[in-house]
Chain A
Amino acid sequence: MKAKKKLFIALAGILLLFTFQILVIPPTASFAGKHPPFYLLNSEGDIINPLTGENADQPYSTYNTCDMCHSYDDIVQGYHFQMGAKSVSDHYSKEQPWVLSDGMFGKF
């Protein structure tokens, strides 16, 4: 009975250690900084697999592909993407009414 109890405690401890490791270490860590392999998705969100010929003649969609892991909608709020589009307004500048935003909309 005592042997069974010891075995139970040992197994439970090992299980706890594994659980702890899974919780603490992020899944990408095993790739040591390399981006893991991933599926390309087309504009419909379907997998492109050139090896099987599945949708293999279609371009991939960044939105569908990258958004699987990274928040595409958040990323494209960055100013490299928006270029001032979010602030476009006919009333953006009183002194230079042709300038429509903080980006290059309406000006050179």
Chain B
Amino acid sequence: MDITVWQWATTGPEGKPTCAGCHPGGGPMEFDRDGQRYDERLTEKPSLSDSLYGDYYGSHWDKSGVLEADCFMCHLSSYSFETRTEQLKNWNLKWASTAASGIGTVEGSIYDVVDNNDPSAEPKVTYNKRLFNEDGKIVLDIKPTVDDNNCMQCHGPADMKKRAFSWHDEVNPDVHSQQGMHCVDCHPAGMDHNFAKGHTTIETLRDDLDNSMRSCKDCHTEGYRGATIPKHVNIPPSHLKDIACETCHIPQKHRAAGQFFDTTHGNLHWDIIGKKEAWGKPEDWYPAYMKFDGKIIPINPIFGIWWGNREKNGIVYPLFARELAAAWGIYGSRVTDDNGDGFAEVNKREEIRLGLKAVETVLHKSSRFEQVHAVFIKGDKAWEFNQDSLLVGKWDPVCKGRGFSISHNVAPAEMALGANGCPDCHGYNGEFFKRTYIVDPYDENGNQVIAPVRKTIGISDYSYNLCAIHFPLIRPYMGIVLIIIFFVTTLHFTSFGPHDFGGRPLHPRSDDYERIDRFNLFERLTHLFVLFTFIFLALTGLAFAYRGGGRFLELFFGNTVTPRVWHGWLGFVFGIGVLFMLLQWWRDAMLIPSDKEWVRNFGGYLGGHDPVPADRFNAGQKVYFWTVIIGGIALLLSGTVLFFREHLPLNLVFTCIFIHYIAALFGVSGVLSHVYLSTGANPGTFPAIFVGKVTKLWARRHHPLWYEKITGKPASGSSDHQNQNHSDESK
């Protein structure tokens, strides 16, 4: 941080607290790195304040005292942080708690005593006697726990990261805040005062306590304190597994946060979302996303523009603010403000070149590095001179941006992403994939370079476009396509009736009602397997595709996970059935010349009077068969990918989702037509696939070529006699 402990305690920007304004004392505010109290040690050895010992350099601990842990900061709701700041800036460290807690007033200033050499400014306390009992004991409303407002005093101003203001945001308060919950409900602490933590993307302090706080799951699966137990019936389980609750339930933020900082001028220049003067101001913005701990989480992307020195070991060391200020003094006047925001930014190649040279000039004067080789990190590039002294900007591990995880501002469920269906995220305008984040705050012209957020979680443009077609354009119309099939088949039946060749009977024969084998047992069983598995797969698949489908699944299975598991496994059974069908019927499904006549006559379905040539399968059945085979294999292969989706690339998964739905759409449409054609359209057909037999009359009418093959008799003819003659001649 480039500041001493004394500065940490007593120095802060105008109108803002010192670091110790929030750090509650105790620990390094009380004891030096050798475990000795600052005030006692400096009293014993005053020369330490003139030494380069960072704990004592320029300090006056002997007069100011130290900052003991201030219990009232958290446990007294009337604690004044402004008064604390005032006392700290006056170097009245040991008086700070007395004044800020309001139990007394403090007049005087160690700063004046030391800096202005004014002994009369020695701080004096006047206690508020009204707070004391007759016996001299003080009576204070000390809380056994911590009020939100006390937490907010520190975690609010640090809203760039801590985001406590958002908790009680008037525009979009956290639903938990609205329900009367407090900070310590999720972040409880025991007597060890180690508050339960979440797990943020940036902070590293006491990582061993990560995820010790009450998580969403802790309360919302058990119903703890009346928490709702959401079923997420319309959300695919993969989403619940891969996406953090916060990602969908914090769709938007309403408090400006930092988006990047620039140290070029030798100080910390923050750029705040919405170009606000301070973070925490009302501003609508949308979180970006990143993968963290195996889940996609919402983040506030934050990255720094900074300068470093690449040491001999290859590590880029960040520079002190004073070094950057010195360098800026050399070249700053030649840097222009290209985007007109009042801050001269280093963005042009010439400016970067000047900056690197100036930084190297400054570093050459110090001896803290074995090698001087300046590096400028901005956006996704690290700029430095190569061996030929040419300026090169390329990605380097030090460019890795940071995102601060977001967990407050949980919106009501009705506002969550996905509350309006899949297109909330997966549609062309879906927030989830369309949001952008800043890659580089200023290019050579001073303009921001942005990129879609989807890229940070591995979603390519290809996948995005596929989703944009699939979710809003195909899924919603699946039902309509099925209705159209119903309509067309009904219309056909109403117009043409059963396929009875114009109502003209064939010449009767005595054996017309004898039964012949059409399908053997194995064929029938295969068909049965495919039929039943397809019905299950189609019904559950359609339920997966529609928002309300989850309710339907819950009705039959009690939950939405079981049908998904069954859908996966039965998909394999269906696939195997399709392969068996291929093996047993592919020969019969090969097209033959006479099929042309069947096609020319539309199979007689548009009112023909005579049987149309057809072998065991007519041309229409053959086309349907190959459609089923191709569609079935497509469903099997794409389904297999989806079954193992967790281990496969997202592009492949999204492609297979697309193929799966298209194939399913054709499959379901085809099966509905198939059912119509084998029942209402062609009476007498339906039992064949169950009992395996058909009458000879049916065979003569619908598959005359096949009839002739298996009986050796002509399918057409006026009488048994003619048939007999024909048989004799053929012999």
Interface string of A51-89 (1 = CB under 8 A from B): 110101111111100100011101111111111111010
Bound complex: CA A40 to CA B329 (Å)? 52
Which among B26, B138, B191, B195 has the greatest number of chain A C-beta atoms within 10 A?
B26
Q: Known: A77-B192, A80-B195. Contact between A47 and B136, CB under 8 A? A: yes
Residue of A nearest to B209 (CB): A79
Contact of A82 with B27 in the complex, beta carbons under 8 Å: yes
Asked if B147 is at the interface (CB within 8 A of a chain A CB), the reply is no
Contact of A81 with B97 in the complex, beta carbons under 8 Å: no
- List the A side residues contacting B318 at CB < 8 Å: 98
Chain B interface size range? 35 or more
- List the A side residues contacting B207 at CB < 8 Å: 102
Asked if A5 is at the interface (CB within 8 A of a chain B CB), the reply is no
Within residues 78 to 121 of chain B, which ones have a CB less than 8 A from any CB in chain A? 94-95, 97-98, 103-104, 106
CB distance from B377 to the nearest CB of A (A): 14
- List the A side residues contacting B241 at CB < 8 Å: none
Contact residue among B97, B106, B129, B140 (Cβ-Cβ distance under 8 Å from A51)? B129
Asked if A8 is at the interface (CB within 8 A of a chain B CB), the reply is no
Residue of B nearest to A86 (CB): B27
Residue of A nearest to B189 (CB): A78
Contact of B27 with A43 in the complex, beta carbons under 8 Å: no
Q: Known: A62-B71, A72-B69, A74-B192. Contact between A84 and B205, CB under 8 A? A: yes
Contact residue among A33, A59, A106 (Cβ-Cβ distance under 8 Å from B95)? A59
CB distance from B53 to the nearest CB of A (A): 14
- List the B side residues contacting A86 at CB < 8 Å: 27
Bound complex: CA A62 to CA B98 (Å)? 9
Contact of A108 with B1 in the complex, beta carbons under 8 Å: yes
Contact of A59 with B205 in the complex, beta carbons under 8 Å: no
Bound complex: CA A10 to CA B71 (Å)? 47
Residue of B nearest to A78 (CB): B193
Contact of B127 with A50 in the complex, beta carbons under 8 Å: yes
Contact residue among B28, B70, B71, B317 (Cβ-Cβ distance under 8 Å from A83)? B28
Contact of A61 with B209 in the complex, beta carbons under 8 Å: no
Asked if A39 is at the interface (CB within 8 A of a chain B CB), the reply is yes
| Majority SS at the chain A contact face | loop
Contact of A102 with B204 in the complex, beta carbons under 8 Å: yes
Asked if B141 is at the interface (CB within 8 A of a chain A CB), the reply is yes
Contact of B127 with A107 in the complex, beta carbons under 8 Å: no
Asked if B449 is at the interface (CB within 8 A of a chain A CB), the reply is no
Asked if A27 is at the interface (CB within 8 A of a chain B CB), the reply is no
Interface string of B121-164 (1 = CB under 8 A from A): 00111111100111111111110100000000000000000000
Asked if B394 is at the interface (CB within 8 A of a chain A CB), the reply is no
Asked if A97 is at the interface (CB within 8 A of a chain B CB), the reply is yes
- List the B side residues contacting A20 at CB < 8 Å: none
Which among B134, B140, B207 has the greatest number of chain A C-beta atoms within 10 A?
B140
| Majority SS at the chain B contact face | loop
Contact of A49 with B132 in the complex, beta carbons under 8 Å: yes
Contact residue among A39, A59, A88, A106 (Cβ-Cβ distance under 8 Å from B106)? A59
Contact of B134 with A35 in the complex, beta carbons under 8 Å: no
Contact of B191 with A74 in the complex, beta carbons under 8 Å: yes
Contact residue among A38, A74, A98, A108 (Cβ-Cβ distance under 8 Å from B317)? A98
Asked if B23 is at the interface (CB within 8 A of a chain A CB), the reply is yes
- List the B side residues contacting A9 at CB < 8 Å: none
- List the B side residues contacting A88 at CB < 8 Å: 33
Asked if B452 is at the interface (CB within 8 A of a chain A CB), the reply is no
Bound complex: CA A62 to CA B24 (Å)? 11
Bound complex: CA A67 to CA B137 (Å)? 16
Residue of B nearest to A35 (CB): B142
Contact of B205 with A103 in the complex, beta carbons under 8 Å: yes
Asked if B206 is at the interface (CB within 8 A of a chain A CB), the reply is yes
Contact residue among B23, B97, B136 (Cβ-Cβ distance under 8 Å from A59)? B97
Contact of A102 with B206 in the complex, beta carbons under 8 Å: yes
Asked if A44 is at the interface (CB within 8 A of a chain B CB), the reply is no
CB distance from B68 to the nearest CB of A (A): 4
Contact of A62 with B69 in the complex, beta carbons under 8 Å: yes
- List the B side residues contacting A57 at CB < 8 Å: 124-126
Bound complex: CA A66 to CA B138 (Å)? 12
Contact of A37 with B137 in the complex, beta carbons under 8 Å: yes
Contact of B97 with A60 in the complex, beta carbons under 8 Å: yes
Residue of B nearest to A50 (CB): B127
CB distance from A5 to the nearest CB of B (A): 44
- List the B side residues contacting A49 at CB < 8 Å: 132, 136
Bound complex: CA A56 to CA B128 (Å)? 10
CB distance from A73 to the nearest CB of B (A): 9
Asked if A34 is at the interface (CB within 8 A of a chain B CB), the reply is yes
Asked if A104 is at the interface (CB within 8 A of a chain B CB), the reply is yes
Contact of B127 with A61 in the complex, beta carbons under 8 Å: no
- List the B side residues contacting A38 at CB < 8 Å: 137-138
Within residues 10 to 42 of chain B, which ones have a CB less than 8 A from any CB in chain A? 23-30, 33
Residue of B nearest to A52 (CB): B136
Contact of A75 with B125 in the complex, beta carbons under 8 Å: no
Contact of A58 with B125 in the complex, beta carbons under 8 Å: yes
Contact residue among A33, A62, A97 (Cβ-Cβ distance under 8 Å from B97)? A62
Asked if B65 is at the interface (CB within 8 A of a chain A CB), the reply is yes
Bound complex: CA A40 to CA B716 (Å)? 117
Bound complex: CA A82 to CA B315 (Å)? 29
CB distance from A43 to the nearest CB of B (A): 7
Contact residue among B69, B135, B206, B315 (Cβ-Cβ distance under 8 Å from A95)? B315
Contact of B205 with A83 in the complex, beta carbons under 8 Å: yes
Contact of B1 with A85 in the complex, beta carbons under 8 Å: no
Asked if B562 is at the interface (CB within 8 A of a chain A CB), the reply is no
Bound complex: CA A43 to CA B123 (Å)? 15
CB distance from B698 to the nearest CB of A (A): 80
Bound complex: CA A95 to CA B318 (Å)? 12
Contact of A83 with B23 in the complex, beta carbons under 8 Å: yes
The 9 closest A-B pairs by CB, nearest first: A78-B193, A49-B136, A76-B26, A37-B137, A50-B127, A35-B142, A81-B26, A85-B28, A59-B98
- Between-chain CB contacts (< 8 Å), 28 pairs: A34-B141, A37-B133, A37-B137, A37-B138, A38-B137, A39-B136, A48-B127, A50-B132, A56-B127, A57-B126, A59-B65, A59-B95, A59-B98, A59-B106, A60-B98, A62-B71, A71-B191, A75-B26, A75-B191, A78-B193, A78-B195, A81-B25, A81-B26, A82-B26, A82-B27, A83-B28, A98-B317, A104-B205
Which A residues are closer than 8 A to B by beta carbons?
A: 33-35, 37-40, 43, 47-52, 54, 56-63, 66, 70-72, 74-86, 88, 95-98, 102-108
Which B residues are closer than 8 A to A by beta carbons?
A: 1, 23-30, 33, 65, 68-71, 94-95, 97-98, 103-104, 106, 123-129, 132-142, 144, 189, 191-195, 204-207, 209, 268, 315, 317-318
